[in-house]
Amino acid sequence: MNTVERFLSSLHPFPPQEKFFLAKARRIAYGGARGGGKSFAMRAKLVLLALRYPGIQILLLRRTFPELRENHINPLQRWLYGFARYKDSTKEFLFPSGSRIKLGYLSEEGDTLQYQGQAYEVIGMEEATQFSESQYYAMTECCRLAGQLKEKFTPRMYFTCNPGGVGHAWVKRLFIDRRYREGEREEDYVFIPSTVYDNRYLISENPEYVRNLESLPPLRRRAMLEGDWDAYEGQYFTEFDRKRHEIEPFAIPEDWHRFAALDYGLDMTACLWFAYPPDRRRIVVYRELYCPDLVLSQAAEKILEANQSDPVRYIAASPDLAGRRQEGGKSGFDILSAAGMKNLIPAENARIPGWRRVREFLRASGEEGAYLGLFSSCRNLIRTLPQLRFDPVKTEDAALTPHEFTHAPDALRYGLSSLPFLPGEPLREKKVRKSIRDEFFGKREGAGEYFDFLKK
């Protein structure tokens, strides 16, 4: 039995690995949890491609060289000994057919420059969430035909990954949330989940490792054992659990109280609609509007259209909109009101107390499960809320960057901060700053109704 036959006979992939080996999309990601056989799957797939397509040029990347050596160079030297020659000076395996597997690392942003102008039919990024989005895009520019293949082949990239890390957001966007930008096609992206429970070898030969994963702290266990992409180190709302908080839409009963909350910026308009029954046993976010690049009059038009004649009692909006603007001396509230939004109130903008309220609502349980339910149709709120991170300076606050993740959570904070109760607490008169009461509400349509509502 020669080296190739010995290698092929040694492969005993379990079902997720088989799917990974057979997938042919342009971008294929594998894993999501610890112990799912990610490194083995990556190595084996790249070797299989090198054997199948003479002359193919392959690049395998890790974040650091020690990781590359321990996880891939040493195992590949054992696998390919006597068949493919390892050239240490260039860190590459050279096959008799002309195929090549080059190994590299990207520890710094600028390390991508060493690959500028190079071409590889296949690029593998091991532990992809450890790479930044800019590093990922830089490497996509190198994924193209290198000109040595005799057979037709579509260049592709392979990824292995766990939740967390600097690249969590871009990996989650492409492979979990499946939200694509211009030029990205849904059919090009495939995610193949795998956990330690798929790994027959670890289950039988190393059960202690499985127990170690099962005994991790709750947040890390969700990420590393279950492959939950809504749980990772540095997450601001560890209380958020898609399984608990995401609910299927239902018709809101007529006697439920409804209101809305708006976070406006030139880059994004985020508006959420809330409802809860008279006995306040739960509260749901049942609708969202999430539109970029709208001026205020356009935002008002979109919100009124989305409202669908719902009897919302008020809309708690970004308090900065109440300030005067330079254009004609009108405030943002004046512009929105003139466009037909008559029941605006300025939201309470104390960030840390507001986030504490959000945390209380997320933690609470009711008769029907989580006290706060988010309709599955509110995709942007569900996507961005778990991606908020702690601010590195104001450690009790949520970070303001990446800014794209802040809009829907801010609207949620405005909405929940407008309520005169917390889960399980009796109604109380909500205190409103005298300056807001006198300078804004006293002059605004709907003010009296809002104050009556707060005292109920």
Q: Is residue 232 part of a domain?
A: no
pLDDT at site 439: 47
Among 224, 257, 283, where does a domain finish?
224
What is the per-residue pLDDT for 196? 95
One domain for residues 79 and 196: yes
pLDDT in tens, 272-322: 999 999 999 999 999 999 999 999 999 999 999 999 899 999 999 998 888
pLDDT for res 330:
83
Query: Do the domain assignments include residue 236?
Result: no
- Tell me, yes or no, whether 272 and 193 share the same domain: no
pLDDT at res. 401: 83
261 and 210 within one domain: no
231 occurs within a structural domain: no
Q: Kindly state whether residues 189 and 289 are assigned to the same domain.
A: no
Q: What confidence score (pLDDT) does residue 3 get?
A: 62
Evaluate whether residue 237 is within a structural domain: no
Evaluate if pTM is beyond 0.85: no
Q: What is the pLDDT of residue 456?
A: 47
- pLDDT tens, position by position, 323-355: 766 456 788 998 999 999 989 999 999 999 999
Residues 249 and 220 in one domain: no
Confidence at residue 5, expressed as pLDDT on a 0 to 100 scale: 67
Domain count within the chain: 2
Same domain as 25, residue 96: yes
Give me the pLDDT at residue 435, please: 47
Examine the domain organization and report whether 251 and 209 are in the same domain.
Answer: no
- Where the chain has pLDDT below 50, the residues are 326, 434-437, 439, 451, 454-456
Would residue 285 count as lying in a domain? Answer: yes
Among 180, 195, 224, the domain-final residue is: 224
pLDDT of residue 268: 94
Residue 307: the pLDDT is 95
CA separation for the pair 211, 206 (Å, rounded) = 9
pLDDT of residue 342: 85
Give burial (CB, 10 Å; 0-12/13-18/19+) of 368: exposed
pLDDT attached to residue 102 = 97
Domain boundary among 224, 256, 278: 224
> What pLDDT is attached to residue 1?
53
Specify the pLDDT at position 437: 47
Q: What pLDDT, in 10s, does the model give residues 389-408?
A: 898 888 899 999 888 889 99
Query: Quick one: 301 and 373 in the same domain?
Result: yes
Residue-range definition of the domain harbouring residue 55: 3-224
Q: Read off the CATH number of the domain in which 256 is found.
A: 3.30.420.280
